[in-house]
Amino acid sequence: MKTLIYFLCTCFLATGIYMVAIGSLNAVPGILVACGLWAWFFWGWHKRRQKAAKRGQRERRLEEWLRRRDDFNR
């Protein structure tokens, strides 16, 4: 859900920046800022996915450890 909110904010901001850049005399800085905004979004998205993967791996290891411990105590 958080990613969707970030995505929508990035879309609106980048669209506004692109519109301003197209209307200005020198469009390059605006386009670079908008592309930087998208790069920032994808970097944050990648970091959140890595965190979720690590958390899932940690949960699977804990469940496996608890299962082994339970089997050993029987």
Residue 70: per-residue pLDDT: 81
Q: How would residue 74 be classed by pLDDT, with cut points 50, 70 and 90? A: low
Measured distance CA(40)–CA(19) in Å, rounded: 19
State what percent of residues in the chain have pLDDT above 70: 99
Going by C-alpha positions, the residue among 48, 44, 49, 38 that lies closest to residue 11 is: 38
